[in-house]
Amino acid sequence: MTATPAIEVDHLTKKFGDFTAVEDVSFAIEPGEIFGFLGPNGAGKSTTIRSILDLIRPTSGSCRVLGLDSRKDAVEVHRRIGFLPADLALYPNLTGKQTLEYLGNIRGGVDWARVDELTERLSADLSKKVSEYSSGNRQKIGIIQAFMHSPEVVILDEPITGLDPLVQVEFHGMLREMADAGGTVFLSSHTISEVERVADRVAFIRRGHLIAVEKMAELQDKALRRITLEFAEPVEAHHFEGLDGVRDVTAEGATISAQFEGSMAPLLKAATDNDVLSVSSASVDLDEIFLEFYRDEIKAAGDEVDDDAPAREVA
Ligand SMILES: Nc1ncnc2c1ncn2[C@@H]1O[C@H](COP(=O)(O)OP(=O)(O)O)[C@@H](O)[C@H]1O
Ligand SMILES: [Mg+2]
């Protein structure tokens, strides 16, 4: 691709004293993408985001936003993007409207028509004082301030925290519209279901390391590649083992199940060589694929298995 990436992270490392929070992380996000940044708590998501925004200084490596250097061109970067921090601090005594007026004036004015549109979409209440808001309504103010100047890029650190499901759907619709219009969305999350719903690509981070960057469609495709074959009589697994792209073959009586990659043809040919009665494809939960990434990382680190892999939200 020849376009300048909307966000580029280049060999980013950030240490806090002896502790390495982010190590040698690199990725690039193209204009028009919704990029999910997925990892459990403490993985290094906020540290990466704060480095991109020059809120903290990288130990080594660099970041670029819209072709601008995060450090040298920090003012211009902040002018052109919208940012929702994970730990949004607002003045408790201002109302929602006053908060947006204050934040808008820092940018040189408020487009109230745009604010009204966002307020309505998110069913936000701007009339009360921030101190009286629920966490959900406070989060809505945070989202409105990130979007109200119609930025080219939004960087959102765990944005759906506290939002109820219907508002989440509306919010994700906003992200899709922005991307369709050529804008770029960087979305950090610790929940697989959110990223699965909305992202075009997803990066997995764990313990400061980028484990994988995958297209969502390809992950979903992988998730669909388990097949179950029913035969008239018991069949042995070895008929299917060693076939091109076929793995994890299990035989149980007259039922064979297997995972496959690429063409289904070799598997079907072997099936029809026997007396096959039915072929069905059951979906492998995306969780399994995500957990595979996290398990590999645990093995590579020589660590013991723990339970801080990202959780699937139970809706
Ligand atoms: N200012 C800091 N000083 C020391 N350690 C920090 C600091 N900020 C973050 N960390 C540590 O770096 C790791 C990554 O944190 P963070 O980027 O906030 O994770 P995430 O956003 O993925 O939950 C954590 O272990 C956290 O405790
Ligand atoms: Mg964080």
β-pairing verdict for 60-65 and 7-16: antiparallel
Return the DSSP state at 77: H
- H/E element, 27: strand 19-29
Centroid of ligand 1 to alpha carbon of 48 (angstroms): 10
Centroid of ligand 2 to alpha carbon of 23 (angstroms): 16
Distance (Å, whole) CA 250 – CA 256: 6
Ligand 1 residue neighbourhood (C-beta within 6 Å): 16, 19, 21, 39, 41-47
Which ligand is closest to the CA of 48, given by its number? 1
Would you state the pLDDT for residue 299?
55
Among 43-47, 52-56, 58-62, 196-200, the minimum mean pLDDT is found in 196-200
Would you state the pLDDT for residue 217?
85
pLDDT surpassing 50 at residue 202: yes
CATH superfamily of 7-215: P-loop containing nucleotide triphosphate hydrolases (3.40.50.300)
Distance (Å, whole) CA 14 – CA 296: 23
Q: What is the residue with the minimal CA distance to atom 2 of ligand 1?
A: 16
Which ligand is closest to the CA of 22, given by its number? 1
Answer yes or no: are the C-beta atoms of 208 and 245 closer than 8 Å.
no
Using alpha carbons only, give the angle 56, 58, 60 rounded to the nearest 5 degrees. 175
pLDDT surpassing 60 at residue 313: no
pLDDT surpassing 60 at residue 236: yes
Q: What is the residue with the minimal CA distance to atom 24 of ligand 1?
A: 42
β-pairing verdict for 81-84 and 246-252: unpaired
Distance (Å, whole) CA 214 – CA 203: 6
What does the pLDDT average to over 219-241? 85
Distance (Å, whole) CA 99 – CA 149: 14
Centroid of ligand 2 to alpha carbon of 47 (angstroms): 7
Distance (Å, whole) CA 279 – CA 178: 41
The atom of ligand 1 lying closest to the CA of 39 is 22
Query: Residue 118 — very low, low, confident or very high, per pLDDT cuts 50/70/90?
Result: very high
- In the chain, the percentage of residues whose pLDDT exceeds 70 is 88
Centroid of ligand 1 to alpha carbon of 244 (angstroms): 44
* Angle subtended by helix axes 135-147 and 165-180, to nearest 10: 10
What does the pLDDT average to over 265-275? 88
Answer yes or no: are the C-beta atoms of 149 and 299 closer than 8 Å.
no
Q: What is the residue with the minimal CA distance to atom 17 of ligand 1?
A: 44
Would you state the pLDDT for residue 83?
97
The CATH number of 225-282 is 3.30.70
Return the DSSP state at 219: H
Centroid of ligand 1 to alpha carbon of 21 (angstroms): 6
Mutate to test the pocket of ligand 1, among 14, 16, 48 (most ligand atoms within 8 A of CB): 16
Distance (Å, whole) CA 134 – CA 144: 16
Would you state the pLDDT for residue 305?
40
Answer yes or no: are the C-beta atoms of 236 and 243 closer than 8 Å.
no
Would you state the pLDDT for residue 3?
80
Domain range list for the chain: 7-215, 225-282
Q: Give, rounded to a whole angstrom, the gap between the first and last alpha carbons of the chain.
A: 37
What does the pLDDT average to over 176-184? 97
Distance (Å, whole) CA 215 – CA 54: 28
**CA-CA-CA-CA torsion for 46, 51, 55, 60, nearest 10 degrees?**
130
Q: Judge residue 71's burial from the number of C-beta atoms within 10 Å of its C-beta, 0-12 exposed, 13-18 middle, 19 or more buried.
A: middle
The atom of ligand 1 lying closest to the CA of 86 is 21
Which ligand is closest to the CA of 85, given by its number? 2
Query: Residue 286 — very low, low, confident or very high, per pLDDT cuts 50/70/90?
Result: low
What does the pLDDT average to over 16-32? 97
pLDDT surpassing 50 at residue 307: no
The atom of ligand 1 lying closest to the CA of 208 is 14
Would you state the pLDDT for residue 283?
60
What is the DSSP code string of 45-61? Answer: HHHHHHHHTTSS--SEE
Q: Quote the tokens at residue 287.
A: 């969780």
More confident residue, 84 or 309: 84
Answer yes or no: are the C-beta atoms of 203 and 37 closer than 8 Å.
yes
What does the pLDDT average to over 82-90? 93
The atom of ligand 1 lying closest to the CA of 48 is 17
Q: What is the residue with the minimal CA distance to atom 12 of ligand 1?
A: 21
Q: What is the residue with the minimal CA distance to atom 7 of ligand 1?
A: 16
Distance (Å, whole) CA 77 – CA 8: 13
Centroid of ligand 1 to alpha carbon of 42 (angstroms): 6
**Which residues are within 5 Å of ligand 2 (an ion), measured at CB?**
45-46, 86
What is the Cβ-side half-sphere exposure of residue 131, based on CA atoms within 13 angstroms? 4
Query: Residue 139 — very low, low, confident or very high, per pLDDT cuts 50/70/90?
Result: very high
